[in-house]
Amino acid sequence: MKKKFAIIGSGIAGLTAANLFNSKSNFDIKVYERENELSLNEGYGIQLSPNSVSILNKINFSKTESSLLYNPSKLNFYSNDNKKICDLNLETFNTSENKYTTLKRSTLIEFLKSDLFENKIKFGKELKKVSKIKDKLLINFSDNTNDLVDYLIISDGVFSKTKSVLDSKAINPVYSGSIAIRTLIKSPKDFNYDKKNISLIMLKNAHIVIYPINKQGELNVVCIIRQKLSNKIDLNSLIKKEIVSQNKNLENLFKGNLEFWPIYITKKPHKSNYNNSFYLGDAFYTFPPTMAQGASQSIESAYDLFHLINENTEDLQNVYFKKRVERINLVNKRSKINYYSFHLSNPIMVKTRNFLLKKVTKNKKFLNSYLGNIY
């Protein structure tokens, strides 16, 4: 008899899980999305390290039109005066099939939904109640519909409302102390950085990441600024005060449409109250964005769960939770180190950081230890 799955949330983690389980004839899946349509924000760029690309290739990601993807070969480090400090060779972590990839989030979502959209995704579904019936879960939605399933997978993001339903209490993320500003550069002019690779500009209490997201030359720009949480933020004034004041040339990066959001992170991961219910992606744990691992870890968590269930793993809930926590601790420690080192202001510490960067980016043993286990 087929095992029945309900997946709550149609982001990267949920749709990856749906595709993986849908690839097996003994699994029956439905994706339930609270919104009335998929979020396909055109300008939102993401980075995928080779580990996550290898997972996506199991569901034919390699067949995606090549013009929609980009494979940067290196990460350039810049100081606040536009001087290049050093670069990191990303091809060190590639294989012939699985390469470090940048793209629009909408491109990945379009790929993930392509085999599911007809009858597997249900929109306008908000989970209201979960009840255990023998070894199954009865899930009730706000529109008075329900479903009886063998497994419930929660992937509705960092502000997961389903957590409160399952755990009978609010489990809220915490503000990281920074905001993110993003924009898209479609026709780069007077651009002082490497258009073909990833550029990281390190500033006092801020950093900027720029990278191509397709073969048409479009660039994604994300700026992280340490900032008190406020509903009243004038982006142009903030950019002038915190970014342009350090380097006037950086003003050219922010000529297009700007969007911003406060960055929230998870305080600690939670295990579901039900042995056959699991959290994925940002619903499980949300990282600081300084390792560019958000999308990759969402994909990894989906594969971890799929693999364990497909292998009929005993004590599934505890095995999955332990595996993900170990991975989270590894990525999170490095994310925090990066967050600190990218935003240094003391001249002596900046000089020391830059000196060390030149050394470690060419040290294969260090790179294998610091990045190899993640990428």
Q: In 144-195, which ranges are E strands? A: 146-149, 151-154, 174-185
Distance CA 58, CA 325 (A): 24
Report if pTM > 0.85: yes
The pLDDT > 90 percentage for the chain reads 79
Q: What sign has the CA pseudo-torsion 91, 96, 100, 102?
A: positive
Residue 337: HSE in the Cβ half-sphere, 13 Å Cα cutoff: 10
8: pLDDT strictly greater than 70: yes
**3-class state of residue 159 by DSSP:** coil
Q: Which tokens go with 267?
A: 């305080």
Average pLDDT, the chain: 92
Average pLDDT over every residue of 190-211: 93
Question: pLDDT digit string (tens) for 173-182?
Answer: 899 999 999 9
Question: pLDDT digit string (tens) for 103-135?
Answer: 999 999 999 998 786 689 999 999 999 999 999
Angle at 160 between CA 157 and CA 165, to 5 degrees: 150
The residue whose two tokens read 């997978």 is 153
72: pLDDT strictly greater than 70: yes
Residue 152: HSE in the Cβ half-sphere, 13 Å Cα cutoff: 29
pLDDT band at 233 (very low <50, low <70, confident <90, very high): confident
Q: Which tokens go with 347?
A: 């001249």
pLDDT band at 365 (very low <50, low <70, confident <90, very high): very high
Distance CA 375, CA 92 (A): 10
Average pLDDT over every residue of 257-285: 92
Angle at 305 between CA 301 and CA 308, to 5 degrees: 140
Distance CA 74, CA 99 (A): 12
Secondary element (H or E) of residue 346: none
319: pLDDT strictly greater than 80: yes
Q: What is the distance, to the nearest Å, from the Cα of residue 96 to the centroid of all Cα atoms in its chain?
A: 24
Question: pLDDT digit string (tens) for 333-357?
Answer: 999 999 999 999 999 999 999 999 9
DSSP state of 256: S
Q: Are 258 and 152 in contact (CB under 8 A)?
A: no
Q: In the chain, which ranges are E strands? A: 3-8, 27-33, 45-48, 69-70, 74-78, 84-89, 101-104, 121-123, 127-133, 136-141, 146-149, 151-154, 174-185, 198-203, 206-212, 219-226, 259-265, 277-279
Q: In terms of pLDDT, which residue wins out, 15 or 166?
A: 15
Out of 186-190, 216-220, 262-266, pick the least confident: 186-190
Residue 229's pLDDT is: 87
> How many residues appear in the chain?
375
Residue 41's pLDDT is: 66
Other Cβ atoms closer than 10 A to 208:
24
Residue 169's pLDDT is: 67
